[in-house]
Structure 1
Amino acid sequence: MASSACSPLDRFIQANLHRKIGIRRRDHERPCSAEDEPEVPQLCWLSVKIISMRNLRKADLWSQTDCYVKLWLPTASCQEAQTRTVRNCRNPVWNETFHFVIQSEVKNILELTVCDEDTFTPDDQLMTVRFDVAKIQPGEKVRLHFELNPENQEELEVEFLLENIPGVSEKIITNGVLVSREVSCLEVHVNETKMKSSHKRRDFTFTMKGSYEEIQDISKGPHSRPGSSETTRFHYIKHSQPRLLMTLPKEHFFCCHGSGRREMDVSNPLAVPLHSLDLGKKVTVMRGESYEVSVNEENSCKNLDLRLGFDLCAEEKDFIGKRKKVVAAALKNVLHLDEDLQEDEVPVVAVVTAAGGVRSMTAMFGSLLALQELGVLDCVSYISGLSATTWTMSKLYEDANWSQKDLSGPIGDIRKHVTKSKLCCFSLDHMKYYENKLCERKQEGHKVSFTDLWGLFIDCMLHDQESTHKLSDQQLAVKQGQNPLPIYLSLNVKDDFSTLDFKEWVEFTPYEVGLLKYGAFVRSEDFGSEFFMGHRMKKIPESHICFLEGHSEHFWHRWTRDTECDIGDHPALPKKPHEQTTCLSIPKGYLSKSLREMLTGRPVVSTYHNFLKGLQLHNKYLDNESFCMWKDTVLDSSPNQLNEMSDYLKLIDTAFFINTSCPPILRPERKVDVILHLNYSGGSQTLPLDLFSEYCLEHGIPFPSTELSQEDREHLKECYVFEDSLEAPILAYFPLVCDTFQKYKAPNVERGPTEMEQGRVDVSTCAAPYGTGLLTYTEENFNKLLNLCSYNILNNKHLILQALRTAVERKKRLKKYSSPNSSKHS
């Protein structure tokens, strides 16, 4: 990035553009390969001239503002630029120009922050203007006045010039939401030129902001031989404006881009603007008395190690094909069909759960046991879980054929663990074991958190010995379609934002881990590894599955948020369908910021390397239907604040938002026809359903209307079936209630006088004996809950079979009317 107020310099830069910004195409370079590649996108030269401000507000009561403007365009440069400071002035004038190379296919949001420079305290950020560069037409120079406070006629005047860069191409890979750009590798060589008599070690530190590596060190011993060389590397966006910062040993040296030999203290970093060099060959950038530093660029383009796309992965498609054969046979049996179902007549059935600690883990075993007894378990293609229901799932999927075996075996095993004392998990030996495992995990490259300790504790609670089971190991359990495909759900959050402001659905399957709204997925065995721009840079061992399992914010949420409003651009620019309005953000202040940081500090968060690191958002990402389907926070319209810049994903229990594992089941690509929703939450048994129904309505996600009468809400039944449009799945919802269980021990089998106590199961509140925080049950309470959930399924066999039969009929009707030979009229 360069700064100047002189238009002749602009002309000079344009005339020498290929050399100046280091963008060139060598004949031997080969582009990255990708399916459905778009037209070669255009790189552009953006000039931003900060002209002046008018009627600038005071930052405090004592003096006029000492004002400067910061510019941040993260899609072009990771470094902020800023104007000089104009002191004690109400109408500061700068006339300073800044230059950026931008990719037009990327959503480029320029942030202009007006600041007050302070001597003894941190500088005040008065306001930030977020401006969509897509508003500027190539070849036009536009001068805009941003109205910061129309009442006081406070304005910021800025001039923009956008010009295409001719003859320069960049291959990108995109799914319409995320963009992966070309990556280059800069090799930095430190060569020994003569023996150094000093007995001290010499340390070299190289820094390239915005690269994957960021900082690299090289050490040379006191007796390094002449001709010896050490090399380090930086991976960075090829068409950017990188600078290499060098902290070098102090000695006489030659600056290869200056004149004369001089001694200089080089303890402070020296900056080398790489865009001014021809990096196609090795270039010496510094030569000392005993060493020289040279650099060259290697094309690092290769196939992506993540999948950008909203479709199902090939492995899941293959699974569905195999599973449909199992489901077809099971449906023929339970529905007493006369003929075999064809593949396109087989409905996709999913089991969805809600969280609730050991209560939900135990209850899910009871529900699955009953579904198996009815023959319905073989009709299910997906099982999704969150929080403690994932304990049930991970336990079952340790056996590659669990659904084909009698579930009384694993239930007996889990009964033993739930009813045993948990004091042994806190023994000195166990605490040492936890410490050693966390140290091993840290050494492998994972970031360790309190949640990892909790995962080890749960593992100890559910197993007699250490479990080394991994998510990818569960591929064996679905390889032949012998079991439903398990899907685990989590939420990605940000440290300084409440769940109300930022949350993203993350799904885990044995094949992939992905974020729904971005359409970005990595292989399950690669989750936790380090990525940059879609390339796996450092392989980190896959986590054991125990590490993957996973405060009211409303009252303070509104007044601690920064004030956001749309502002006008004058003159008004032609409106484009995918551009964003110019936004003004005014910070609330230090008190609100401190409170927000305190209240959004989450001790129970799992931290993993962000596999979206470096990827950029497509210019039209907000028009993408798949993104819009899952976007639901204010940050979704603020691309600079979304997750591609973050080093880590921060995963929390989905129940912090809505207590259901339904979202991944409703991905349109999965084409689910029937949902069996098993609710195990404490307190209100309709709240998760109400919240998720409202969520689907707001986001245009096909979901049946779930209206319940007041009578039903006060006296809940064991099962409700909701069905309306053909676009929405059929929903069978099972609250955790004791409707007829108090009187019947099995469908149509009344309890005797001595059996009435077994029907008294208080699940109406989250108080003991089934409280969410309770980890140990008596054997009697375990059996009561297990039997209750099994009974609720068995007693509603007719409703389940009705839903399945309706789904089959729907599929047949759809097939009939979509057939080429069918009539166009129903």
Structure 2
Amino acid sequence: MSASKPKKSVKRRNKNLLNNSEQEFVAGRRKTVLQALKKLKIQCSRKEVPNIALLGSGGAQRAMVGLLGSLVQLDKAGLLDCILYLSGVSGSTWCMASLYKEPNWSTKLETVKEKIIERLSGPGVSLTDAMAKLKKYYYGKDFFSLTDVWAVLVVTSYVKEIDERTLTEQRKQHNKDPFPIYAVIDKQSKQSNDGDPWFEISPHEAGYSLTGAFVDTCDFGSQFDNGLKKKHQDEMDMLYLQAMCSSALADGEATWKWIKAISVPEIKSVLDKMDQGKDHTGGNASKTTQEPVGEDECYQELLNPVDADPSALEQSSKTKLTDFFRGQRQFGQTADKHKKTARCITQRIWGRNYNFLHNMTDESVPAALLQKETRDLIDAGLLINSPYLSMLRKERNIDLFIALDFSDGDPFTTVREAAKTCKKLNIPFPEVNVPSDEGKKPKDFYVFKGQNVPTVIHMPLFNVVNCGDKPGDWRKKYGILKGPYSAEMITEVMGVAGKNISNNIEKLLEEIRAVAEAK
């Protein structure tokens, strides 16, 4: 519905300032960090407290479980309270979403861990509940995209729940936990190599990390024009946020392979069941007896060859899909809305939202970010599989990164790409040099440092220390396409991740002490 009074909600701040709520949170959290350092016999004043960020990479359920196992060991070692920020991409955000369901989760992590493991080891979301949720997404907002389908059919199969809470509900619930940052990227900026692809979402605001343009999280997704809110949209829920963060197929031909192999039969089943359900007003809906295009023909349009030209596919499919959706008018939806739905599917649209910067006049914002009414937000792992760039905002002044890497392939790609990007953007970051023979057989602990740059600790999940001479076998056994994990698999991955922490407590303390002394 439209807001009763348009209001200015776009925030363009001096880049040297954080959001007021984040500043207040950080000030309080630094007191907790100071006390934790004293317990570890690291002496420093309040002004000298180092800003430490823990980063979780992508890696589907491997990342989710690996991050959980790492946090448990950090807690046991008394290091968790040294962490100021917790940030993740893709699968790590699944873990974060599960943790931040619990107020002040870090004060009762063992209990929270058991609840998460019990859920992950239990039954999945029922088809009835999945259908109901997809129907909510389908009719509840202006843009229905493949991210909605991904949320209901894929993310729920791993996380085993439909989480309908919102980020803003967490604002007052985590004063004893690290400050959470969820990272995604702007698809158009990535593809055109202009604008600012780095986008972050916290309980307080969402926006472009390096540009410094933000909107209140409760207004993210609403329609804006020149900084004024024109039309309100409900805040996205945590299930959708997890799907947006983990939409690994959102930028490439793999999308259609996924649709063909996995999603279309289930979409058909869901929409078939919708026909037999209730309409949006709560009344019983009778099935349309005459449809210009039959269901089988409509769904066949979604099964077109995966190598079809996108523009040709859109032209050939739009009429049939639009006619089909128009035939579903018993749901009380307009033909225009169904045209939008058809377009989202045929154009392979993921994570589409209104652009809160649309039509603003601000020379400090890249012009590319001001022009379009909508932007598409997708998995940050499609650019760099770790949330370095959001956390490297100058005003956050991070002294030490502890980067947990759960990626597939080369275990050093994330840190190398971060270094390469920072060099291009003149952002302080250490040189990254790794012996060539350690690419396939990494160690469990690397430190990169330099003058006037943050220290970076890089910890590959599978390595020669905790996996013997064949870490590649572990990567294959727990590939990111594996899952959902059994209880035994969860225990094993958590154990391996935990060893990376417990085996390196002294090294972690040494680096924390070093950055504290340097301040």
Short-chain TM bin:
0.7 to 0.9
| Residue 607 (1) aligns with residue 309 (2) | no
Q: Is the 8 A contact 1:417 1:462 kept in 2?
A: no
Q: 1:517 aligns with which of 199, 210, 214?
A: 210
Closer, same or farther: CA 326–798 of 1 in aligned 2, 3 Å:
same
Q: Is the 8 A contact 1:458 1:546 kept in 2?
A: no
Q: 2:403 aligns with which of 665, 677, 680?
A: 677
Counterpart in the other structure of 1:413: 115
| Residue 453 (1) aligns with residue 146 (2) | no
| Residue 441 (1) aligns with residue 146 (2) | no
Q: Give the alignment of 1:18-417 within 5 angstroms.
A: 304-309=8-13, 310=15, 311-334=17-40, 336-337=41-42, 341-405=44-108, 407-417=109-119
CA distance in 1, matches of 2:457, 2:129: 43
Q: Is the 8 A contact 1:761 1:784 kept in 2?
A: no
Closer, same or farther: CA 517–740 of 1 in aligned 2, 3 Å:
closer
Closer, same or farther: CA 344–502 of 1 in aligned 2, 3 Å:
closer
Counterpart in the other structure of 2:507: 799
Closer, same or farther: CA 374–617 of 1 in aligned 2, 3 Å:
same
Closer, same or farther: CA 552–397 of 1 in aligned 2, 3 Å:
closer
Q: Is the 8 A contact 1:499 1:657 kept in 2?
A: no
Query: Aligned partner of 1:709: which letter?
Result: P
CA distance in 2, matches of 1:510, 1:348: 20
CA distance in 1, matches of 2:150, 2:495: 29
Q: 2:180 aligns with which of 462, 486, 506?
A: 486
Structure 2 gap segments, 5+ residues each = 254-307, 315-345
| Residue 534 (1) aligns with residue 230 (2) | no
Counterpart in the other structure of 1:780: 488
Closer, same or farther: CA 524–785 of 1 in aligned 2, 3 Å:
same
Counterpart in the other structure of 2:449: 723
Report the CA distance between 1:699 and its aligned residue: 1.2
CA distance in 2, matches of 1:333, 1:598: 65
Q: Is the 8 A contact 1:397 1:474 kept in 2?
A: yes
Q: Is the 8 A contact 1:490 1:653 kept in 2?
A: yes
CA distance in 1, matches of 2:9, 2:208: 15
CA distance in 2, matches of 1:613, 1:698: 27
Task: Please give the per-residue CA displacement for 1:149-182, whole angstroms capped at 9, x wherever unaligned.
Answer: xxxxxxxxxxxxxxxxxxxxxxxxxxxxxxxxxx
Query: Aligned partner of 1:659: which letter?
Result: N
Query: Aligned partner of 2:384: which letter?
Result: I
| Residue 736 (1) aligns with residue 487 (2) | no
SS state at 2:30 partner: helix
How much is the aligned-residue C-alpha RMSD, in angstroms?
Answer: 3.0
SS state at 1:476 partner: coil
Counterpart in the other structure of 1:708: 434
Q: Is the 8 A contact 2:352 2:374 kept in 1?
A: yes
CA distance in 2, matches of 1:607, 1:410: 33
Closer, same or farther: CA 614–764 of 1 in aligned 2, 3 Å:
farther
| Residue 646 (1) aligns with residue 354 (2) | no
Which structure is higher in strand share? 1
CA distance in 2, matches of 1:485, 1:805: 22
CA distance in 2, matches of 1:604, 1:389: 23
Report the CA distance between 1:413 and its aligned residue: 2.9
Which structure is higher in helix share? 2
CA distance in 2, matches of 1:645, 1:678: 37
CA distance in 1, matches of 2:397, 2:122: 42
Query: Aligned partner of 1:649: which letter?
Result: R
SS state at 1:521 partner: strand
Q: 1:506 aligns with which of 183, 194, 199?
A: 199
Report the CA distance between 1:714 and its aligned residue: 4.8
CA distance in 2, matches of 1:716, 1:509: 33
SS state at 1:447 partner: coil
Report the CA distance between 1:392 and its aligned residue: 0.5
Counterpart in the other structure of 1:31: none
Closer, same or farther: CA 469–419 of 1 in aligned 2, 3 Å:
same
Q: Give the alignment of 1:536-615 within 5 angstroms.
A: 536-549=229-242, 550=244, 603=348, 605-615=350-360
Report the CA distance between 1:780 and its aligned residue: 2.0
Task: Please give the per-residue CA displacement for 1:424-471, whole angstroms capped at 9, x wherever unaligned.
Answer: 54x3x23431343224423xxx41112112223456446676432101
SS state at 1:708 partner: coil
Q: How many residues align?
A: 425
CA distance in 1, matches of 2:349, 2:60: 15
Closer, same or farther: CA 781–464 of 1 in aligned 2, 3 Å:
closer
CA distance in 2, matches of 1:358, 1:462: 7
Q: Is the 8 A contact 1:721 1:799 kept in 2?
A: no
Q: Is the 8 A contact 1:324 1:343 kept in 2?
A: yes
Report the CA distance between 1:722 and its aligned residue: 1.2
Query: Aligned partner of 2:191: which letter?
Result: S
Closer, same or farther: CA 360–709 of 1 in aligned 2, 3 Å:
same
Closer, same or farther: CA 476–604 of 1 in aligned 2, 3 Å:
farther
CA distance in 2, matches of 1:378, 1:673: 16
CA distance in 1, matches of 2:192, 2:502: 38
SS state at 1:678 partner: strand
In the superposition, the TM-score normalised over structure 1's length comes to: 0.48
CA distance in 2, matches of 1:401, 1:542: 23
Report the CA distance between 1:688 and its aligned residue: 1.4
Identity %: 26
Q: Is the 8 A contact 1:532 1:611 kept in 2?
A: yes
CA distance in 1, matches of 2:120, 2:472: 18
Closer, same or farther: CA 742–713 of 1 in aligned 2, 3 Å:
closer
Task: Please give the per-residue CA displacement for 1:319-378, whole angstroms capped at 9, x wherever unaligned.
Answer: 1111110000001112x14x5x32211010000121011111111101111111111110
SS state at 1:773 partner: coil
Q: Is the 8 A contact 1:306 1:520 kept in 2?
A: yes
CA distance in 1, matches of 2:494, 2:312: 40
Closer, same or farther: CA 613–464 of 1 in aligned 2, 3 Å:
same
Query: Aligned partner of 2:385: which letter?
Result: N
